[in-house]
Amino acid sequence: MKSSDRIHAVIESQIGQCVLLPGDPIDEESLMTQFDVSRTPVREALVRLKAEGLVSSIARGGAIVSKMDMVQLMSVWELLSDLEGLCARYACLR
């Protein structure tokens, strides 16, 4: 697994588990130290997280955990509802 993939997975997991909350800053320097990598893999991971909408850029090159608006939240709830229905359907087929 590439360093950037590992960093991406950890940050994504921390966001999913509410270790990192919306609006929390993401410090590139501490990630570089934590994973013992250069700036490049950290930035690659952050670019992917930004593309996925989990992280937003702030002035002067920093990053924060994205805040969800009501439309995004409703979209997530709708997706979860659809997935629960599919899970129930497949469980009944077994």
Residue 12 structural domain? 3-67
Whether 27 is covered by a domain: the verdict is yes
Q: Does the residue 91 lie in any domain? A: no
47-90 pLDDT, tens digit each: 999 998 889 998 887 899 998 777 877 787 788 788 899 999 99
| Structural domains of the chain, count | 1
| In a domain? residue 43 | yes
Is 83 within the bounds of a domain? no
- Average pLDDT, whole number, for the chain? 90
Band (pLDDT 50/70/90 cuts) for residue 23 is very high
pLDDT computed for residue 65 by the predictor = 95
In sequence order, which residues have a C-beta less than 8 Å from that of residue 11 and are 6 or more positions away? 20, 26, 31, 45, 46, 49, 54, 55
Looking at the domain assignment, is residue 92 inside a domain? no
CATH number of the domain enclosing 49: 1.10.10.10
* Token couple for 16: 């999913």
Res 80: pLDDT: 79
CA 62 to chain centre: 16
Given this model, what pLDDT does residue 43 score? 95
- Assess if residue 84 is contained within a domain: no
Neighbours of 46 (CB within 10 A): 22
pLDDT recorded at residue 34: 95
Question: In this predicted structure, what is the pLDDT of residue 94?
Answer: 86
Q: Is residue 31, in this structure, part of any structural domain at all?
A: yes
